[in-house]
Structure 1
Amino acid sequence: MIVTFKTKASGNLIYFKDVAIKLLALMGRDDKVPSALFAEDVAAALAKLQHGLAEIAREEQEKVKQNENLAEQRVSSATTKAYISLNVRAEPLLEMLQKAVKKQCPVQWE
């Protein structure tokens, strides 16, 4: 299933539901789809999302440091899936929320 984020401040964003739910949780929202943020609530949600993503980035850096020795010992395989962090996946949503704050627009998702 997919979740589409919409605002008049920018184009639509499409996320897989599992990623969208994680991002919504970081914004302090529940997993209710569809739902929305009022224009006056977007800035607070953006700040919470940025703070949560910063925490995740710190945790990922610690894991990388702990696993450096293991990674050097492993042989990379062509069938290994590339890992894309939540921080990378969140970039378009961060940009959307920033534009919505500037233009004082609500954000909805369905």
Structure 2
Amino acid sequence: MIYKFKSKATGDLIMTQPVGERVLSLIGKPATPQGIIDVDQLAAAMSALEAAVAAESPAPAGSDDTAPKGDRVSLRQRVWPMVEMMKRALAEKQPITWGA
């Protein structure tokens, strides 16, 4: 399943099911096939995502930076497009909706 987030303030944002469900969980929304983040919920949702990124553990001190990183994508990289979407939606007072 794919989550497609939409707002009149931005272009669409598409996320795979695991990523979309994690983002929704972090902002306190159920991972339903359709939903809405109302304008009055956007600031709290952005704060929740930013707090989750801040809480993400950094690499241990002295770790070998030359080791292959693999395909790991950090939470910061995954939620950045959503935070940007939320900022624009809030500025234009537009909700964000999603559908599968």
Q: Same fold (TM over 0.5)?
A: yes
Matches within 5 A, 1:56-75: 56=56, 59=57, 61=58, 64-65=59-60, 68=63
Identity rate, percent: 27
SS of equivalent to 2:60: helix
User: With structure 2 as the length reference, what TM-score do the two structures score?
Assistant: 0.86
CA distance in 1, matches of 2:33, 2:47: 21
CA distance in 2, matches of 1:28, 1:52: 12
SS of equivalent to 2:12: strand
Larger Rg: 1
SS of equivalent to 1:68: coil
**Number of aligned positions between the proteins:** 99
1:2 paired residue number? 2
User: Unaligned 5+ residue runs, structure 1?
Assistant: none
Task: Return the structure number with greater helix share.
Answer: 1
1:47 paired residue number? 47
SS of equivalent to 2:4: strand
User: Is it true that 1:91 corresponds to 2:56 in the alignment?
Assistant: no
CA distance in 1, matches of 2:87, 2:22: 19
CA RMSD of aligned residues (A): 2.0
1:30 paired residue number? 30
User: Unaligned 5+ residue runs, structure 2?
Assistant: none
